[in-house]
Amino acid sequence: MKVITAIAEMRSLSRALRMEGKKIGFVPTMGFLHEGHLSLMRRARSENDVVVASIFVNPTQFGPHEDLDRYPRDAEGDRAKCEAVGVDLLFMPQAPDLYPEKPAVFVVVEGISEVLEGAVRPGHYKGVATIVAKLFNIVQPHKAYFGQKDFQQCAVIKRMVAGLDLDVDVVVLPTMREPDGLAMSSRNSYLDKEERRVAAAVWRALSEGERLFQTGQRDAAVIQGAVRSELLREPGILIDYVAIVDPDSFTPQAVIESRTMMLVAVRVGRTRLIDNLQFL
């Protein structure tokens, strides 16, 4: 596995690989890799000639009081994990290279970037769309792989790709979970033992919503109420939102009549957790 830090070198290698007719699969990450990330890399390995992964903790997607400085990092461990799953090129750029001056150019996906996560974290998806567009431009992948845990992020990236006519196929793979159902996330490392126990309530609550749906309940307010009640059984949880929305427009749905997403965001101590579940 080759580690690359220079943008020019990464771009040059990608151009050469494309000229050779090689298919490039790309997994962008912020590092502190877990099985969710590695599952994306394995899928990329199975579908492409060359696998590129990136590790970059992107400052423009963090708010002024968020966890940029304490976001977990493990560069050496991440390198070993990438090599073990067959990554060919690991791109690890530095912030001054990607943002050499105070950023003045951003990619904004209107509408779906402004609700739910976008409302709780203003400017977050502007930072996400901008860095992903920059990485796509540098790496020039044929396919890029993301996890469904960040469902709204995936929707924003797909909308950006379509709106800018970018030549990349966005592949979204199922959320990887711990044995108790908690969605794998680098931020899970923030949780202490008691918080980790409390966090398992997120999946229990989503599962209660799924149970109601499977028994015939279609009233979104009833399902949301049951999910909120299940979450609030744990006094250590603060709810940011429980929403049932159209998966394309992210407009709230009163009745579940077609493919619909339930999205949940909570806070456990200082840690913010998100998860989702698809109906139909």
Q: Does 65 qualify as catalytic in the annotation?
A: no
Strands of the chain (E only): list them.
2-4, 24-29, 50-55, 89-91, 143-147, 169-173, 237-245, 260-268, 271-279
Residues whose CB is less than 8 angstroms from the CB of residue 214 and which lie 6 or more positions away in sequence, other chains included: none
Q: In a 10 Å sphere around its CB, with 0-12 CB exposed, 13-18 middle and 19+ buried, how is residue 46 labelled?
A: exposed
Q: What are the structure tokens assigned to 102, written together?
A: 């105070």
Q: How many CA atoms lie within 13 A of 213 on its CB side?
A: 24
Amino acid at position 196, single letter = R
Mark 179-202 as b/e (b = at least 16 C-beta within 10 Å).
eebbbbbbebebbeeebbebbbbb
Backbone angles phi, psi at 214, to 5 degrees: -65, -25
Catalytic residue among 37, 65, 124, 142: 37
How many other β-carbons are positioned within 10 Å of the β-carbon of residue 164? Answer: 14
Nearest alpha-carbon partner for 141 in 56, 5, 48 = 48
Residues whose CB is less than 8 angstroms from the CB of residue 44 and which lie 6 or more positions away in sequence, other chains included: 25, 26, 27, 51, 143, 145
Catalytic residue annotation: 37
